[in-house]
Amino acid sequence: MKLNWKLWFPQKHRHLLVKFAVVILLTGLALRLVFDRSTGLSSTIETPFPGETAVSKPLLSEQAPHSEEDQISIREKCDLFTGNWTPNPSGPSYTNESCPLIESHQNCMKNGRPDTGYLYWRWNPRGCELPQFDPERFLEMMRDKSWALIGDSISRNHVQSLLCMLSKVELAIGVYHDEEYKSRRWHFPTYNFTISVIWSPFLVKAAIFEDYNGVSTSEVELHLDKLDEKWTDLYQNLDYMIISTGKWFLKSSIYYENNEVLGCHYCPKRNLTELGFDFAYRKALKNVMNFIAMSGHKGLIFFRTSTPDHFENGEWFSGGTCKRTTPVKEGEIQLKDINRILRDIELEEFEKATEKASENGVNLKLLDFTPLLLTRPDGHPGPFREYYPFAHDKNAKVQNDCLHWCLPGPIDSWNDVIMEMMING
């Protein structure tokens, strides 16, 4: 028997049924749209590190602007020196086995450092994407060019990092070194490209009286008005430079100007006026910056701020250590007063020089890596500046290095930033 559904519902009930069916249909479509939209926006990247918060992955349209104007706008807004360290499961681009150019004090893996977590982080500037260093593109850009890193042992630390990253394409050949191997030069034959490190810890003329371990027999004699000719004599022949100084000005020193003694810093056995390291640092940097700004140099010059150390429970000479194995959050560690004074002077003198440099056609840029490295107390050699320091005695008293950086390590991210500034800065 066939049912006639019209007989079961009066006319007005049939209208209500139709309306009800339409409402259900529209509600279903709305829920479908909401569901599709939410699943499209909730893509996440699973962190390889247990306990780490998952990071939201933006849509492609959010990652890459479509127009050239948008790209320029983002570059202008991006501060490459403000950000955080994010997990990097792929790890460093080289190892101590693939690169033979790492000096022993920075070769933490070879020296027996047991943890490796410090190798799996990458610097992530806030609000922009930082491409990884491209060694092949870098070398192509540097055909028939010359680089120099001018300063103290942190510059030596950095040049090893750069050479190791470039070694994926070509291994540099050493072509020069001074008697103590503090100033050195390497050559890339395929590209006719040279990289030098020039030892000039004060950037001004200095007589230094200390041994290999940093033990001084007399005060440093600093001529604040005379720049160190080891770098100024080569200056105009260099295409690219990274110039830096800093911590050496904390040493006990006697200050000269016009070959006459002005005073000193920490010289209690001498009848001299205590002027303080900040007095000398400002005078020296002022002269360095003035020389650069007035030089008419046609290459690219970076001035790098001094780097923080992470000695805890003492200093390098009084049992200080750096035992942390992971980065810290922004604000968890404060810049030490001495480091803050150095950086403030650096930023002030750089700012004064930039306008003068621009007027004279000098391309002077700032590398403010201080905040970037402040949150990496895990990246230092610590006791592993020496080969297996606890092999014979697990409680051995050893000197820690909480100033320089393991290689590979956090300092490798400097090269990402520098290349981005060269291309788009």
| Burial class of 141 by CB neighbour count within 10 A (0 to 12, 13 to 18, 19+) | middle
Q: How many CB atoms lie within 10 A of CB 326?
A: 15
Give, in degrees to the nearest 5, the angle at Cα 306 between 305 and 312.
140
- Return the number of other C-beta atoms located less than 10 Å from residue 414's C-beta: 23
Known catalytic residue at 105: no
**C-alpha to C-alpha distance for 243 and 237, rounded to whole angstroms:** 15
Catalytic member of 105, 310, 380, 404: 404
Tokens (6 digits) for 29: 């479509």
Whether residue 160 contacts residue 174, with contact meaning beta carbons closer than 8 Å, is answered with no
Options 228, 401, 412, 416, the catalytic residue:
401
Active site includes 196? no
Active-site hit among 153, 155, 196, 253: 153
* 187-160-281 Cα angle (round to 5): 110
Whole-angstrom CA distances from 357 to 99, 314, 337, 387 are 38, 41, 30, 46
The separation between CA 229 and the C-alpha centre of its own chain, rounded to angstroms, equals 28
Q: What is d(CA 182, CA 373) in angstroms, rounded to the nearest whole number? A: 24
β-pair partners for 372: none
SS3 86: strand
- Told to judge if 153 belongs to the known catalytic residues of this protein, a careful annotator would answer yes
Q: CA 268, CA 345: separation in Å to the nearest integer?
A: 25
- What are 378's two structure tokens? 């895990």
What is the rounded distance in angstroms from the CA atom of residue 288 to the CA atom of residue 232? 10
Secondary structure letter of residue 216 according to DSSP: B
Query: What gap in Å lies between CA 348 and CA 338, rounded to an integer?
Result: 16
Residue 202 DSSP code: S
The amino acid sitting at 318 is S
Q: Which amino acids are annotated catalytic?
A: 153, 401, 404
